[in-house]
Amino acid sequence: MRVFFAIPIPDSVREKIRAIQDMLKESYGGKYTDGDNLHITLAFIGDVDTKVIDMLTEIEINSDTIPAEFKLSLRGMDSFKDGKVTYLKVEKNAEIERLRAYLEERLSALGIPFEMRDEFCPHVTIRRGKKEMIKEESETLEINVSSFALYESKRVDGELKYVPIKTFGGNILMTTKIMKGKDAIEEGARLINSGGIVAFPTETVYGLGANALDEEATLKIFEAKGRPQDNPLIVHVASVDDIPKLVEEISEGARRVIDAFMPGPITVIMKKSDAIPNSVTAGLRNVGIRMPVNETAREFIRACGCPIAAPSANRSTRISPTSAEHVYEDMNGRIPLIIDGGASDVGIESTIIDMTRDTPTILRPGAITESMLLSVLSEVRTFQGKVISVAPAPGMKYRHYAPRCETVVASDVESAISGYDRAKEEGRDPVIVARSHEAYGDRNVIELGKSDEEVCRNIYSALHRGETEHDYIIIEDFGDGGIGDSVMNRVNKASGGKRI
């Protein structure tokens, strides 16, 4: 039996193919086979058995259902010369090459040899008597692939039929581009406006954005991150003028916070308007609004022409990214584009303040501290306040920011040193994350810098480095008060509360 990989063609492309078919039908008459699928033909050598189906099932489990971006250029050839037939060709591109390599690897691991035919036929096939004719056509079609199907080809009453065996998600084909500057912003805006998702820099951490007014687009964020859908997204704007239509009202207090701290590392929770779909707020009546100060972020949002819903651009439970490289490490193959704006200045997520409560309440500490907020509000419930445990930000119940290796907080220099030495004796490869290496002799230390701003800016990249280069991370306790609270909030999550 022959097995085909088929990429179901979206309506827009199908229309084009139909138009070609009609044209051909008119000029030649006769029967033609309809082409709803681009067939990437995989000729399995030998019988296809359940192993293949198992492999595809495995792909299905491991893959996301986010659409892959496909650019296939159709190179046509007028082949009906002297009765000779050629198919319209789809030029192979990097994505297809990637599919080939992927399948080769997976199939050979299963002991199944395979061939991938070079031509991909969008089945614009005209039949006239026994001959097939193909009309020349040259065009670039962009295809958003959201799924693949495994087809079996069968002859039914002399006609070739493709019978679907199995359908699965298409993200295995996605390559993630990293771009900079004006081109990046244009490409990012184009993707957002066609319902896609894009990672972009902000001064806090990198975000993974979608059009906040497009429910379907925002759902792709949850898929790409593996984020539970009951955890709401923050909505980013390029200007404070864009806020009123997103919220029911801006209270006097909210107005003061906005005026004082936007643009900047703060998210203000207000009552949402009907413009915001439920997918963004996870069904809550409130929405978090943020206006980044990062210029690239704002240019990007402005170019999109819509508010951008964005969580941090990491997979759920992983460390938030503060550089394009961090995003790439975590999200390669899951998103089409990362806009590279360099390292994030602030380095930890925005302060979240809920302005819908009687007492404005900090749901997540950040670089805008409670004392800064108190300069414009008469009272603030701090993150440590008891109210927090009653109604925390929904995200607080998930273990966030977790490095891949064991991570602990050391109460003081002595316990950091003894923890380090013990780990060393056990044959592990520990590292200490500290403001400075000074107290630690020649032990491995990732230095953050002495000022609070430096600690904030560098903490996530230190955790990224720690998990990549070592297998045990010991983090200095940065104490409390001001930014210390904000950093320790992340550090305690990274360690799951484990102390030595």
Residues at the site binding Mg ion, with contacts judged by CB under 5 A: 312
CB of 371 to Mg ion, least distance (A): 25
Structure tokens belonging to residue 458? 């560098």
x/- letters, 353..372, toward ligand TXA (CB under 6 A): ----------x---------
Q: Which of 126, 352, 373, 462 binds ligand TXA (CB under 6 A)?
A: 352
Q: In the bound complex, what is the minimum distance in angstroms from residue 231's beta carbon to Mg ion?
A: 9
- Cβ distance to Mg ion smaller for residue 148 or 200: 200
Task: Tell me: cis bond preceding 263? Omega within 30 of 0 counts.
Answer: yes
Q: What residues contact 421, with CB distance under 8 A and at least 6 apart?
A: none
Integer-rounded Cα radius of gyration of the chain: 27
Q: Residues 106, 109, 112, CA angle at the centre, nearest 5°?
A: 85
Q: Shortest distance, CB of residue 209 to Mg ion, whole angstroms?
A: 13
Cβ-count burial of 251 within 10 angstroms (0-12 exposed, 13-18 middle, 19+ buried)? middle
Angstrom distance (rounded) from CA 349 to CA 351: 7
CB of 388 to ligand TXA, least distance (A): 12
296 to 335: interface string for ligand TXA, x by CB under 6 A: --------------xxx-----------------------
Q: x-or-dash pattern for ligand TXA, window 266-295, by CB under 6 A?
A: -x-x-----------x--x-xxx-x-----
395 near ligand TXA (CB under 6 A): yes
Q: Phi and psi for 323 in degrees, rounded to 5?
A: -150, 160
406: left (phi > 0), else alpha (psi -120 to 50), else beta?
Answer: beta
**Residue 486 binding: pick among Mg ion, ligand TXA, none (C-beta 5-8 Å cut-off by kind):** none
Instruction: Give residues with Cβ within 8 angstroms of 171, minimum separation 6.
Output: 63, 64, 65, 66, 67, 68, 333, 334
Site for ligand TXA in 124-153 (CB under 6 A): none
Beta carbon of residue 475, minimum distance to ligand TXA (angstroms, whole number): 20
Shortest distance, position 276 Cβ to ligand TXA, whole Å: 9
Amino acid at 318: R
Give yes or no for residue 393 binding ligand TXA (CB under 6 A). yes
Q: Which does 264 bind (CB under 5 to 8 A by kind): Mg ion, ligand TXA, none?
A: none
Q: Is 264 in the site for ligand TXA (CB under 6 A)?
A: no
| Smallest gap from residue 221 Cβ to ligand TXA (A) | 9
**Token digits of residue 260:** 């004082």
Which residue is nearest to ligand TXA, using beta carbons? 395
202 contributes a contact to ligand TXA by CB under 6 A = yes
Residues 6+ apart with CB under 8 A from 486: 348, 351, 365, 366, 367, 369, 456
> Which member of 125, 171, 204, 294 binds ligand TXA (CB under 6 A)?
204
Q: What region does 297 belong to: left with phi over 0, alpha with psi -120 to 50, or beta?
A: alpha
> Using CB distances below 5 to 8 A depending on partner kind, what does residue 336 bind out of ligand TXA, Mg ion, none?
none
Record the tokens describing residue 191, joined without a space.
């993707």
Q: Which residues bind ligand TXA (CB under 6 A)?
A: 202, 204-205, 207, 231-234, 267, 269, 281, 284, 286-288, 290, 310-312, 349-350, 352, 363, 393-395
